[in-house]
Structure 1
Amino acid sequence: MGYTTGSCAAGAAKAACLVLIDKPLDSAIEIPLPSGERLNLPLKWTEKENVWGKAGIIKDAGDDPDITHGLEIQARVRLIAEKGEIHIRGGKGVGTVTKRGLQVPVGQCAINPVPQQMIQSAVREVFPVEEIEVWIEVPYGERIARQTLNPRLGILGGISILGTTGIVRPMSEEAFKNSILPELDQALAYDHQTLILTPGHYSFRTAAEKLGVPTEAIVQTSNFIGFILEEAAYRKVEKVILLGHIGKLIKVAGGIFHTHNRVADARMEILVAHAALQGLSLDKLIRLSEFPTTEGAATELIAWGEQSIIHKIAALASKRAMEHVQGRLQVGTVLTLLDGSFIGWDENARHWIQEKWKWQIEGF
C-alpha cells in the first residue's frame, strides 16, 4: 500500500507547523486519518524562513501505478492570528477548477474535501484554535497533470490533491473506474442528458471534431462500459450513444461489458455469426474469420455491399446495453474504423446526433 496526495499534503502541513514553533522533528510525521487510525509519513525536508514553516513529503503510491508516485508535495504555513480559521490554498503545481460538476467549486484550488479535512485535522494538532494560512504546492505538478484527466475536467495548472481514506491500495482497476465518474458528474452539471460514451481517446476526438459534441458531454469509459452504463442509469441520464471502434463495441453486441481482451475476446466470432445469420456463403464466412482484425473484416463486408450487417451489430449493441441496465436509459450505437470513419449505426444514434449536433457523415 501507499499514501495519497491528500495524506502527503496533511503531513507536510503539520510538519511545517511544528517547524514554525521550533519543535524538533524526527524523520517522519504522524497524521490522523479519516478512519480514526494514524499514519506515519517520511519527511523529505523541513525549513523555517522568516514567518513561514515549510516541509516536503515524497508521494509513495506503493504498488499502484499512480502517475503522481514520486512527486514532492510541499506545504508552507504561517500564523495569522491567535484565533481563527485555517485557510487552505493551492500554490504552484496544484490545479484550479474551471468547470462545474466536481467536488470543488469553480475558481477554487483542486484540493478535494477529504484532503482539506485531513489538512485541517493535522494542523489543529499543532495549532488548536489559531488562524493559520496553509499553501500546498507541487513542483512539476503542472507537467504531470497534462498526463491525467485534469485538462478534460477543466482543472488547469496542476494536479488535484485527492484521496478519501488517505491510503492508496493497489487496486488499480477499481481506482481507474472511480476516476471516470467525475466526467459523468461533470456532464450532468452542464445539463447534458444525451451523452457520448467512448472507449478511448481516438473516438473522443471523433465525437468532438466530426460531430461537434461539447467535450463535457463525452465520457471515456476505457474497458468499463458496463460500469459506466450502470452509473449513468443510477444518475438518471436519459440517453447515451456508444461511439467507438468496431473492435471494441462489437463485444457489447455479444453481451460483453468489460471489453479488455484478457476478460473476453469474441470479436470475430460475433461478426462471423451475424454474417452467417444474414446468409453469407461459407467461403465468405471463412474469409472473414481469417482476418486478424475486425477492422479488416468490416472493411471487407463493406466492399461486398454487406454494410447492413454492421448496422445490425450496432443495433444489437444498443439492445444489449439497454438490457444491461434494465431499460433505465436509452442507448444508441455508432461503430467506426480506426481513422474515425463511421461504418455502422442504429436509428437511435442517427436520430439523436442529427437532432443535437453537427451532421456531416456521408450516408448517415
Structure 2
Amino acid sequence: MNSAVPSPRAGYTLPVFACAGAIAALRRLVDPQDMPQAITLDLLNPPQPADIPIAQLAPLPDGSVLAITHSDPGDNLDLTRHTPLWSVVAWGNDDQIDRIQLEGGEGIGKQLEQDGAPAIYRYAKALIADNLTPLIPSGKTLRVTIILPEGRALADRTSNAAFGVVEGLSLLGTAGISEPLSAPGQLDQSREVLRDKAAHHAHLVFCLGENGLDLAVKLGIDPDCRVKTANWLGPMLVEAGQLGVSGVLLLGYHGKLIKLAGGIFHTHHHVADGRQEILAACCAAENVPLPIIQRLLQAATVEAGLGILREFDKAMTQQVYRHIVERIDNRAAAYVHTHTGHALTVGSMVFDRQRQIVGRSDRAQTLFDQVLVD
C-alpha cells in the first residue's frame, strides 16, 4: 500500500480567469457564432498554456459581451475559491488611444495611494494585453472591464485595507500558477526544504511569504538561509527544533506574526484570528491609556491600530512593539520545547505594509548578525 502523501494540486491566480473570460468575450464580440466553452491562454509566467473553462457567455444589450469564469486556486485555503469573475468586453471609443483600455468594475479594489486606481497589477495587465492583442481586428480598440460580484464582501475577510486597497479584491499575482502554500500537503514539501537548509546552516530565517523573502535579501540576509513557511509556523518551528537548528529568525508582516504573541501558531485567518485583541493586550501590559486601547479594539486592522499608536505616541509605539516581538520569541521557544523537549533560540523582526521594520527583539538582532551575507 502506498502511503505517500499526494502532492497538493496547484491552481491559477485570479488574473488568469479574468483573462480567459476576456478572450472568450472578445471572440464572441468578433464572431457571434463563436461560443467557446473553454479557453487556452499563455500564462507568460511561467511560459506555458492553461485551459480555463468558460461557465457562461452572452451578449449584453449595450453591444458588449459578458463571459463568466470561476476561480480555482488549487488545494489552497483560499477565500476566492469558486468565486465568479465577470469579464465584459466592448469595442473602444473613437478617441481611445490605448489598444486595450482595462477597467475595474464592482468588486475590484481601489488603491488609495494611487488616487483610487483599480487594483489591477502589472502581471494581470501584461497577461490580458499579450493574449488579447493578436485577436483584435485591425483598426479596432477594446474596453475590458473586470468585475468580481463577491469581491466587496470577500475583501472584508482580508487584510487588503491594511495595504491600501479598499472596496474589493486585487487582481494580484506575479505569475499564473497559484502554488498551494496553505494546503496540508505543502507542509511536507516545506519540511523537506527545511531539512535541506538545516543540513547546511545552523541559523535560518523563516518568512511567511514573498514580502518577507524579498525584504530579507534587501536587508542583506543570505538568500540560502531563507525558508518559506507559509502559514505553518508551528510545525516548521517544531521541525527546526527536532533538526537541532541553533536559531530561527522570524521575519514577517506584523499583522501576521502578532498571532504568535497570543499563542496562535497557524496564521491562516481560517484557523484563528484575534489580532486586534492581542495588540490591545500587549498595549495594556505597557500601560497604554484605556481610551487608546479601546480604539485599537475597534480598529479594522492591526495596521490601522499601528497608525493609532503612532499618532498617540511614537516612543510608546516602539515600547509596545518591543513587548510584542519579545513575547513572540518567548511563546515560540516555549512551543518548540513543549513539543520536542529541545531548546531553540527564536528572534522576531516585524515590518509594516511599507516594509519598514517596526519591532526587533534582542535575540532577533543577534540572529540577524548570524545570517548576513559574508
Classify the TM-score, shorter chain. Answer: 0.5 to 0.7
> Who is 1:141 aligned against?
151
Query: What per-residue deviation string (whole Å, max 9, x for no partner) do you get for residues 126-185 of structure 1?
Result: 2166321111001111111111111222211111112222111212288x9226659x8x
AA in 1 matched with 2:172: L
> Who is 1:110 aligned against?
119
Q: Give the distance between the partners of 2:339 and 2:143, measured in 1 at CA.
A: 57
Q: Give the distance between the partners of 1:244 and 1:55, measured in 2 at CA.
A: 48
Q: Give the distance between the partners of 1:327 and 1:211, measured in 2 at CA.
A: 40
Given that 1:29 and 1:43 are in contact with CA atoms closer than 8 Å, whether structure 2 keeps it comes out as yes
Residue 56 in structure 1 maps to residue 71 in structure 2: no
AA in 1 matched with 2:179: R
> Who is 2:54 aligned against?
43
Given that 1:28 and 1:42 are in contact with CA atoms closer than 8 Å, whether structure 2 keeps it comes out as yes
Q: How many residues align?
A: 243
Deviation at 1:37, TM superposition (A): 1.2
Q: Give the distance between the partners of 1:181 and 1:205, measured in 2 at CA.
A: 25
> Who is 1:352 aligned against?
none
Residue 249 in structure 1 maps to residue 329 in structure 2: yes
Q: Give the distance between the partners of 2:149 and 2:167, measured in 1 at CA.
A: 11
Q: 1:141 to 1:196 in 2, by over 3 A?
A: closer
Deviation at 1:64, TM superposition (A): 1.1
3-state secondary structure, aligned to 2:157: coil
Identity %: 22
AA in 2 matched with 1:9: A
> Who is 1:326 aligned against?
369
Given that 2:66 and 2:89 are in contact with CA atoms closer than 8 Å, whether structure 1 keeps it comes out as yes
Residue 20 in structure 1 maps to residue 29 in structure 2: yes
Residue 177 in structure 1 maps to residue 208 in structure 2: yes
Q: Give the distance between the partners of 1:328 and 1:106, measured in 2 at CA.
A: 40
AA in 1 matched with 2:125: Q
3-state secondary structure, aligned to 2:47: coil
Given that 2:56 and 2:68 are in contact with CA atoms closer than 8 Å, whether structure 1 keeps it comes out as yes
AA in 2 matched with 1:48: P
Q: 1:24 to 1:268 in 2, by over 3 A?
A: closer
3-state secondary structure, aligned to 2:87: strand
Selected match of 1:159 from 151, 157, 169: 169
* Contiguous gaps of at least 5 residues in structure 2: 1-9, 191-206, 216-252, 260-274, 297-301, 308-317, 344-359
TM-score by length of 1: 0.56
Residue 10 in structure 1 maps to residue 10 in structure 2: no
Deviation at 1:244, TM superposition (A): 3.2
Q: 1:243 to 1:81 in 2, by over 3 A?
A: same
Q: Give the distance between the partners of 2:72 and 2:178, measured in 1 at CA.
A: 9
Given that 2:326 and 2:361 are in contact with CA atoms closer than 8 Å, whether structure 1 keeps it comes out as no
> Who is 1:75 aligned against?
87
Selected match of 1:91 from 92, 95, 105: 105
> Who is 1:199 aligned against?
258
RMSD: 4.1
Given that 1:94 and 1:137 are in contact with CA atoms closer than 8 Å, whether structure 2 keeps it comes out as yes
AA in 2 matched with 1:215: E
> Who is 2:349 aligned against?
none
3-state secondary structure, aligned to 1:241: helix
AA in 1 matched with 2:145: W
Q: 1:245 to 1:84 in 2, by over 3 A?
A: closer
Given that 1:111 and 1:160 are in contact with CA atoms closer than 8 Å, whether structure 2 keeps it comes out as yes
Given that 1:196 and 1:242 are in contact with CA atoms closer than 8 Å, whether structure 2 keeps it comes out as no
* Contiguous gaps of at least 5 residues in structure 1: 100-104, 185-194, 220-237, 272-316, 330-364
3-state secondary structure, aligned to 1:54: strand
> Who is 1:33 aligned against?
43
Q: Give the distance between the partners of 2:39 and 2:329, measured in 1 at CA.
A: 49
Given that 2:16 and 2:124 are in contact with CA atoms closer than 8 Å, whether structure 1 keeps it comes out as yes
Given that 1:196 and 1:241 are in contact with CA atoms closer than 8 Å, whether structure 2 keeps it comes out as no
Between structure 1 and structure 2, the one with the greater Rg is 1
> Who is 2:134 aligned against?
125
AA in 2 matched with 1:59: S
Given that 1:251 and 1:270 are in contact with CA atoms closer than 8 Å, whether structure 2 keeps it comes out as no
> Who is 1:334 aligned against?
none
Deviation at 1:42, TM superposition (A): 0.5
Q: Give the distance between the partners of 1:140 and 1:91, measured in 2 at CA.
A: 12
Deviation at 1:18, TM superposition (A): 0.9
Q: Give the distance between the partners of 1:32 and 1:239, measured in 2 at CA.
A: 50
Deviation at 1:268, TM superposition (A): 12
Deviation at 1:119, TM superposition (A): 1.4
> Who is 1:304 aligned against?
none
